[in-house]
Amino acid sequence: MASDPLKTRLEISQLDLVRYEPGLRRYLRRRAPAGQVDDLVQEVFTRLLTLRDPAAVVDLERYIFVVASSVLSRQRRRAAPWESFGEVEPPELHDNLTPERSLIGKEGVEGVLAVLDGLSPRTRHVFLLHRFEEMTYQRIARELGISVSAVEKHMMAALKVLFSRARSDR
């Protein structure tokens, strides 16, 4: 007999919200001034802990970022227009980007992409999910239907190849 998914869901207060904190902080750091991140994290967790119907949340990880987006929007609406200008750093007047530096950077990126193309499709996919999508090993394992240990092995294989290329370039 199949179990009822509504009965198997946990209450939000029973979950370990702290495990979501590092990803939430990364998300907020990219979108808000550093001095406000702690307050925003607290606001997100406060909203989660005061939900009327926690059992209605199907995907807690996704819901956390929906709440974070809402908190950011509300914060921006409340801020006076002139306050946001004080947080913007002035652009650097002297950019040391020369054609030579640009070419070196382009060659470096092309080299890394060539190394990634040489990996097995699964290893490349795991590496890209972790490094560029910032997914945890546990989430990658869940999404791809493999074990966390397999994710770790794919990451180690990708890093080994990338580090050996970096050593050979020196």
pLDDT of residue 90: 53
CA distances in angstroms from 21 to 15, 29, 68, 129, 135, listed in the order given: 12, 12, 11, 19, 13
Half-sphere CA count of 91, side-chain side, radius 13 A: 4
pLDDT tens-place string over residues 10-58: 455 556 677 888 888 998 998 888 888 899 989 988 888 887 777 777 7
Per-residue pLDDT at 130 exceeds 80? yes
pLDDT of residue 95: 56
Instruction: Determine the average pLDDT of the residues in 146-154.
Output: 94
pLDDT tens-place string over residues 101-117: 776 777 777 777 788 88
In angstroms, rounded to a whole number, what is the distance separating the alpha carbons of residues 6 and 55?
7
SS3 54: helix
